[in-house]
């Protein structure tokens, strides 16, 4: 909310710690944002995968992180009701990072979406289900 310069300073300062993290330190750093289901998901292979993916994303710069956060506050350049491709919206009720109401709202505003609104999942635990999502994406692209 303070603008791109303040956000850039924050993400740039956080980058070295993120690059040096492992699943245990990631859980510790994010514990106020992780319900038990997400902590459990981070303790296995998914935790290693997410750390590796984060390291790859931040290896050269924080530009992607910055753009992702700024997208919360800026228009996306299109209206949701203009979407004409298959969309699957997945959101967990236990998510402490993004309000569940946001997933419900998106599910009601994206035409023809397939909503997977889960009472049992959080923000991270849904990522343990990437294989079925990738299968769906491949099938939808055909």
Whether 29 shows a pLDDT value over 90: the answer reads no
Whether 3 shows a pLDDT value over 90: the answer reads no
Residue 36 or 27, more confident: 36
CA-based end-to-end distance of the chain: 40
3-state helix, strand, coil in the chain (%, to 5): 60, 5, 35
Whether 122 shows a pLDDT value over 90: the answer reads yes
Query: Residue 26 has what pLDDT?
Result: 85
């Amino acid at each position: 909310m303070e603008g791109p310069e303040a956000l850039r300073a924050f993400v740039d300062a956080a980058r070295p710690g993120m690059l040096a993290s492992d699943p245990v330190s990631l859980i510790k750093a994010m514990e106020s944002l992780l319900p038990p289901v997400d902590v459990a998901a981070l303790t296995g292979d998914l935790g290693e995968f997410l750390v590796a993916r984060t390291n790859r994303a931040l290896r050269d710069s924080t530009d992607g992180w910055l753009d992702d956060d700024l997208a919360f506050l800026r228009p996306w350049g299109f209206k949701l009701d203009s979407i004409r491709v298959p969309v699957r919206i997945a959101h967990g009720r236990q998510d402490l990072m993004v309000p569940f109401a946001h997933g419900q709202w998106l599910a009601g505003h994206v035409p023809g979406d397939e909503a997977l609104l889960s009472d049992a999942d959080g923000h991270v635990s849904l990522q343990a289900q990437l294989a079925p999502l990738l299968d769906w994406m491949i099938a939808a692209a055909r």
